[in-house]
Copies of this chain bind each other. A is one copy, B any other.
Amino acid sequence: MDRQGMETLLVVDPANMNYLTGYDGWSFYVHQGVILSVDSDAPLWFGRQQDANGARLTTWLPDDRIFGYPDKYVQSRVTHTMRYVARLMRDQGLAEKRLGLEMDAYWFSARMYLILQEEMPQSVLLDATNLVNWVKTVKSEAEIGYMREAARICEQVMQTAVDTIAPGVREKDAAARVAAAQIAGTDEYGGSSPAIFPIMPSAERTATAHLTFDADRSYAAGDVVLLELAGARHRYHAPLSRTVYLGDPPEDLAKTADGVVTGLKETLEDMGPGMTAEEVEARWRAAIAHTGVVKPSRVGYSFGLNYVPDWGEHTVSLRPGDKTILEPGMTIHFMPGIWLDTYGFECSEPVLITASGCEKFIEFPQQLFVKG
């Protein structure tokens, strides 16, 4: 904040709220946030009155920093929560400041901005998009611990998927087992609902990203099934992608799989601190150059603590032009997903940048899983 000339900061991204205060509830569908000031040790939390007890239960904030607003502000057609927030900031002596806003966050709408601008004409509004996200990008030991727990969950989730998917099995039943495994976790501890639903398209639905199972279909011989699944622990994620083929894989798919897996292994061998994000992508591109595989989109991104709709942190992207230098403690999902005209292939690895290289969070065979 100081470096960017901000005296106050309004944080509405639920993962950033959690990071700063511990707040953890499914209440981000109404306006809520925390307000930081460079002059104060404790942020202010504001949210709907009925969620204020949730802030008392899940945050470390003292009671006098928790402000619940009346229900008349919820999805109102006559007033707006930002009017309440502006008054709160005035009451706390936080108006007339240089105020940072998460201008491009899902949870900071155009209307919220315009109302704040109208209500606080003496404030200087600054762009704080991803400011907290960048702080989060390097993880603490405690955070890495949660992500390792999430990784153990993810291994069970992926194994459940690979074991269950077979010709004749209903897609919904496989997806149900996956969803259960995400929550049931290990014998020792449970998981939390991941930030992205189970992505597990089959057949022609694998020719694109981000579709999922068909609730009314059964798997059939000749299906490709893409699996992009995560374990999550206290909202910290460990994502992983793998691909299953039901039957004898066609030659071009087997060849694509070989090319991707080889490129993945070679890239991870070199990936480490001091490299830039774009250098990792270039390393990958060099490794697959001879295979004929072309991957026009980024091949990875920073991940960690998050809520829907994304476990990515919107900071580091492995792609040309991203000159971020990798540092120990960063956590990157190396994700070279290939979507061709009639099918796709995915094999990814979530890794921790260490002092000397990178460390896989998950041990799961890197291959095309072929099932009868």
**Residues of A participating in the B interface, judged by any CB pair closer than 8 Å:** 24-29, 48-54, 56-58, 70-72, 74-75, 78, 101, 103-114, 127, 129, 170-173, 175-177, 179-185, 189-193, 196-199, 204-205, 207-213, 215-216, 233-234, 296-298, 301, 307-310, 312, 314, 317, 319, 321, 337, 339, 341
User: In the complex, which of the residues B29, B211, B213 contacts A54, with contact meaning CB atoms closer than 8 Å?
Assistant: B211
How many Å lie between the Cα of A298 and that of B77 in the bound state? 14
- Chain B's nearest CB lies how many Å from the CB of A278? 12
Q: Report chain B residues within 8 Å CB of A52.
A: 208
How many Å lie between the Cα of A49 and that of B337 in the bound state? 13
Q: Report chain B residues within 8 Å CB of A48.
A: 209, 297
Tell whether, in the assembled complex, residue A184 and residue B176 are in contact, meaning their CB atoms are under 8 Å apart: yes
Tell whether, in the assembled complex, residue A25 and residue B210 are in contact, meaning their CB atoms are under 8 Å apart: yes
- Chain B's nearest CB lies how many Å from the CB of A325? 15
List 7 other contacts, CB 8 Å, given A113-B114, A173-B190.
A25-B209, A50-B339, A78-B321, A103-B109, A104-B112, A176-B183, A183-B215
User: In the complex, which of the residues B50, B106, B114, B183 contacts A297, with contact meaning CB atoms closer than 8 Å?
Assistant: B50
Nearest to A75 among chain B residues (CB) is B314
How many Å lie between the Cα of A269 and that of B139 in the bound state? 55
Known: A109-B109, A111-B129. A210 touches B27 (CB 8 A): yes
Nearest to A70 among chain B residues (CB) is B296
How many Å lie between the Cα of A260 and that of B297 in the bound state? 54
- Chain B's nearest CB lies how many Å from the CB of A360? 24
Tell whether, in the assembled complex, residue A28 and residue B110 are in contact, meaning their CB atoms are under 8 Å apart: no
Tell whether, in the assembled complex, residue B57 and residue A196 are in contact, meaning their CB atoms are under 8 Å apart: no
How many Å lie between the Cα of A310 and that of B29 in the bound state? 6
User: In the complex, which of the residues B208, B308, B319 contacts A309, with contact meaning CB atoms closer than 8 Å?
Assistant: B308
Q: Report chain B residues within 8 Å CB of A196.
A: 26, 29
How many Å lie between the Cα of A263 and that of B109 in the bound state? 37
Q: Report chain B residues within 8 Å CB of A314.
A: 75
Tell whether, in the assembled complex, residue A215 and residue B197 are in contact, meaning their CB atoms are under 8 Å apart: no
- Chain B's nearest CB lies how many Å from the CB of A224? 14
Q: Report chain B residues within 8 Å CB of A114.
A: 103, 110, 113
Nearest to A174 among chain B residues (CB) is B183
Q: Report chain B residues within 8 Å CB of A204.
A: 57
> Could you give 10 example pairs across A and B, Cβ below 8 Å?
A58-B211, A71-B296, A75-B301, A103-B109, A103-B111, A172-B183, A179-B193, A180-B180, A189-B216, A192-B215
User: In the complex, which of the residues B24, B25, B208 contacts A51, with contact meaning CB atoms closer than 8 Å?
Assistant: B208
Tell whether, in the assembled complex, residue B110 and residue A103 are in contact, meaning their CB atoms are under 8 Å apart: yes
How many Å lie between the Cα of A312 and that of B183 in the bound state? 24
Q: Report chain B residues within 8 Å CB of A184.
A: 172-173, 176
Tell whether, in the assembled complex, residue A110 and residue B106 are in contact, meaning their CB atoms are under 8 Å apart: no
Tell whether, in the assembled complex, residue A176 and residue B172 are in contact, meaning their CB atoms are under 8 Å apart: no
User: In the complex, which of the residues B25, B207, B307, B319 contacts A72, with contact meaning CB atoms closer than 8 Å?
Assistant: B319
